[in-house]
Amino acid sequence: MKVLKFGGTSLGNAARMQDVARIIESEKDCIVVCSAMAGVTDCLVELSGTWKADDIKKAEIIKKQLFSHFEATCFGLMQGAAAFESSHSIIFDQFHKIDRMLSGSWSEGKEKCLLAQGEIITTLIFDHYLNHSGIAFKWLNAFDFMQKNAEAEPVVADISNKLSNLPAYTGSGRYLTQGYICLDHNGHPDNLARGGGDYSATLIGAAVNATVIEIWTDIDGLHNSDPRVVSNTSPVRELSFGEAAELAYFGAKILHPSCVWPASAQSIPINLRNTMEPLSAGTLIRKGPSNAGIRAVAAKDGISVIRIRSARMLNAYGFLKRIFEIFENFRTPIDVITTSEVAVSLTIDKTLHLEAICNALHELGDVEAETGQSIVCVVGDVLAEHQGYAVKIMDALRHLQVKMVSFGGSRNNLTLVVPMGQKAEALNCLQKALFTNEPHACQQAFNN
C-alpha cells in the first residue's frame, strides 16, 4: 500500500485536479490524502469570524464566493450536463449543511465542523471526477478513523484498528480521504492544525505500513534554503529522518513539523514530489545517514528570547528544573536553550503567556525578554564532528547580531538566533558560504 498526499495548491483548480488525476490513475493499491483547495480554508476561517461577529451580510458574501469557486471547479472538470448536475448537487448538499450550521450560535466546536467542509467538499468533488473519468476510487471519511486520544494526540495503532473495521476498506485497492480533519477523544470534530494534512498522510502511512509516503506540493522537493528569500537555491535529493525533522521544526515550509515521526518510527520513506514536474526526483527522506556535510538551512520567525540571570544558579542543582516547570505550567514549549554558570537563555515561539512567564521567572532572578527574533538552523549529518563547519558558519555571520548559538545538542544541527530584520541577510550569507565558493557581498564589505 502506498500513500500519496496532495496539498491545496496541487488541487487548486480544475486543471490542477486533472494533473493529479493523471499522476494517480496508474496507481493500484494506494490511499490518496487531500487538503482543501487552495484558499478555501482561509475563506472558511473568515466565514467563521463573520458568524462569530453575527455579521450575516458579510457571511452571505463569503459563502457565495466559496460556492462559486467550487461550482467553477465542477464546471471545469465535468463534461456534459448530467455530469455537471450530479457534481453540482454534491456542493448544494454540503452548503445546505453549512447553512444549517450558520443558523445556530457560534462555538469553537461548531467552527471546527465548518472548517472541515473544505477538505470534505474538495474530496467529494475530486472523487466524483475520478470515478466519472473511469479512475475508480473509494471515498473514505477521515472522521471514521482519524481520532485523537485524551492527550489530544492521534495514535497510529488506533487509526489502524479503525481503518480495518471500516466496511469500505479492505486493505487493497484505491482510496481517497481527507487530511487535516479528525475527531477529538470525545468523538467531536477536530483538526490537526493548519498544515496538518502532511501529518495525516504519515499517520495513515504508518497505520497501513505503507511502502512509501509521497507528499506532493508545488515545489521540487525540499531546497537547501528558503527560495522565497534566497536566490539560486537547489533541491536536496536525500535527507535522513533526523535532518528532515530538524528542518521541518525550524521553518522548512514544505514539511509539517509533526509529520516525520510516524514514518520514522516504522522506517517508511517519505518522498517530497512536485505536482507541476511529476518526473522530477524530489527529495527522499529515509532511515540512516544521508551524504555527510551540510544539507540545508531553515529559519523560523516570530521568536522571543528570554534571559534569566541569577547568582543562585552558581553550583546549584534543580535550578533548570524550576525554570522548566514554569514553562510546563503555561504549556509553552522551549525551542533553543543555552546555559552558563549564572545565566540561562532560551527561545519560545508562542507569546500568549510571555508576560506571565516572565513574571513567574522573576522569582528566580533578573529576567529580560526580547521579541522579534528569528531562529536560523543549519542542518547536516555529522555536523558536530566535522572540523571547520562551525567556524565557516560563524564567520559568514560575524557582521550580524547573533543573539544565541546552540551547538552539540544534536549531531546534525547548529542553531542561531538573529533579529528578524537580519534573517534574509543571514540566509543569503550562509547560502554563499556553505553552498557556493563565492563570498557574499556583505562579507566583502565587512572585510573592506
Whether 221 and 277 have beta carbons less than 8 Å apart is answered as no
What order do you get walking across the sheet with 366-381 strand by strand?
337-339, 343-348, 293-309, 366-381, 413-419, 404-407
Query: What are the pLDDT tens digits along the chain (448 aa)?
Result: 999 999 999 999 999 999 999 999 999 999 999 999 999 999 999 999 999 999 999 999 999 999 999 999 999 998 877 778 888 899 999 999 999 999 999 999 999 999 999 999 999 999 999 999 999 999 999 999 999 999 999 999 999 999 999 999 999 999 999 999 999 999 999 999 888 999 999 999 999 999 999 999 988 899 999 999 998 899 999 999 988 988 888 877 788 888 999 999 999 999 999 999 999 989 999 997 666 678 999 999 999 999 999 987 776 778 899 999 999 999 999 999 998 888 999 999 988 899 999 999 999 999 999 999 999 999 986 555 566 778 889 999 999 999 999 886 777 789 999 999 999 999 999 999 999 865 544 544 444 4
Measured CA to CA in angstroms, residue 139 lies from 55, 91, 180, 417 at distances of: 35, 16, 16, 46
Q: Which residue is it, cell 513567574?
A: 360
Whether 20 and 75 have beta carbons less than 8 Å apart is answered as no
Task: Supply the pLDDT for residue 384.
Answer: 52
Q: What does the alpha-carbon distance between residue 425 and residue 400 come to, in Å, rounded to a whole number?
A: 9
Task: Supply the pLDDT for residue 140.
Answer: 98
Task: Supply the pLDDT for residue 443.
Answer: 47
Q: What does the alpha-carbon distance between residue 97 and residue 123 come to, in Å, rounded to a whole number?
A: 16
Whether 247 and 259 have beta carbons less than 8 Å apart is answered as no
Task: Supply the pLDDT for residue 446.
Answer: 40
Please state whether the predicted TM-score (pTM) of the whole model is above 0.85. yes
The Cβ of residue 130 has, within 10 Å, a number of other Cβ atoms equal to: 22
First and final C-alpha spacing in the chain:
59
Grid cell in block for residue 169? 476498506
Measured CA to CA in angstroms, residue 435 lies from 61, 222, 398, 425 at distances of: 49, 15, 18, 15
The SS3 call for residue 303 is strand
Distant-in-sequence, close-in-space partners of 69: CB < 8 Å, separation ≥ 6 = 37, 39, 40, 43
Task: Supply the pLDDT for residue 376.
Answer: 96
Evaluate the CA torsion angle 206, 209, 211, 214 in order and state its sign: negative
Q: What does the alpha-carbon distance between residue 44 and residue 118 come to, in Å, rounded to a whole number?
A: 8
Grid cell in block for residue 119? 477538505
Rg (CA), the chain: 24
Q: How is the chain split among helix, strand and coil, in percent rounded to 5?
A: 40, 20, 35
Question: Domains in the chain, ordered, with CATH?
Answer: 2-218 (3.40.1160.10)
Q: What does the alpha-carbon distance between residue 288 and residue 227 come to, in Å, rounded to a whole number?
A: 27
Task: Supply the pLDDT for residue 256.
Answer: 82
Evaluate the CA torsion angle 223, 226, 229, 230 in order and state its sign: negative
Whether 351 and 371 have beta carbons less than 8 Å apart is answered as yes
Task: Supply the pLDDT for residue 292.
Answer: 67
DSSP string for residues in 318-382? SHHHHHHHHHHHTT-----EEE-SSEEEEEES--TTHHHHHHHHTTTSEEEEEEEEEEEEEEEET
Amino acid (one-letter) located at 72: A
Q: Which of 244, 118, 104 is nearest to 191 (CA)?
A: 118
Q: Which residue is it, cell 494517480?
A: 24
Whether 295 and 236 have beta carbons less than 8 Å apart is answered as yes
Task: Supply the pLDDT for residue 381.
Answer: 67
Give ∠ CA 212-214-220 in degrees, rounded to 5: 135
Whether 44 and 118 have beta carbons less than 8 Å apart is answered as yes
Q: What does the alpha-carbon distance between residue 32 and residue 273 come to, in Å, rounded to a whole number?
A: 14
Q: Which residue is it, cell 477536530?
A: 190
Grid cell in block for residue 5? 498526499
Task: Supply the pLDDT for residue 392.
Answer: 87
